[in-house]
A and B are shown apart, each in its own frame.
Chain A
Amino acid sequence: EVQLQQSGTALARPGASVKMSCKVSGYSFTSYWMHWVKQRPGQGLEWIGTIYPGNSDTTYNQKFKGKAKLTAVTSASTVYMELSSLTNEDSAVYYCATGTPYYFDYWGQGTTLTVSS
């Protein structure tokens, strides 16, 4: 069974950085792309970017360049996303989702980030 387990709720100050994780099991970690998607309260979904753990190749939505950084640790079957220079606009639920470059087969449960002073 494919499982994506995301890190828990995060609280951060404006201007700070936060790093969240997505640990996978049940499939070959290095063979599929891992995407990250943002959802603000009551809003739709925004694609942040993707990483291919097999070679750490990354592609970002231009909107999130400089804001998000994706990394992968193959020994831990875990992908990380670091968000920097946080503002209230970064408060959202962040999902990791694995799949092909074109669609996202399996999703994590989401990590809620609250940015507040």
Chain B
Amino acid sequence: DIQMTQTTSSLSGSLGDRVTISCRASQDISNYLNWYQQKPDGTVKLLIYYTSRLHSGVPSRFSGSGSGTDYSLIISNLEQEDIATYFCQQGNMLPRTFGGGTKLEIK
């Protein structure tokens, strides 16, 4: 199975900050990398698919980049509603696998 690693388990930023959340795959996943947001109440939403494509309705302050094994989710102009845990997921090989998550808090 492809292992997805989010080395930062928690992260804090101030309102208006730009924050970057990283994700590393155990092998090349050819840009089949997706990002999800899980709110404290458990609600999960797709933010970014195929590395950098913004899902419908997602604010443009979210963006993604990367290639090969290393990927990033960037949140610019951090807002209170961005408090959540963020998971990466690879869609290149079965079984689909997720990173362990990065919990984002506001300072």
Contacts and interface: CB of A to CB of B under 8 A. Distances in A.
Is chain B a partner of chain A in the same complex?
Answer: yes
Interface of A: 35, 44-47, 59, 61-63, 93, 95, 97, 99-107, 109-110
Contacts of A45: 36, 87, 89, 98, 101
B97 A102 contact: no
Contacts of B55: 105
A47 B100 contact: no
Contacts of B45: 107
Nearest to B6: A44
Of B87, B95, B98, B100, chain A has the most CB atoms within 10 Å of the CB of B95
Contacts, number: 57
11 contacts: A44-B87, A44-B98, A44-B100, A47-B89, A47-B95, A61-B95, A102-B32, A103-B34, A103-B91, A104-B34, A110-B42
Contacts of B96: 35, 47, 61, 102
Contacts of A101: 91
Given A45-B89, A63-B95, A103-B34, A97 B49 contact: no
A101 B96 CA distance: 9
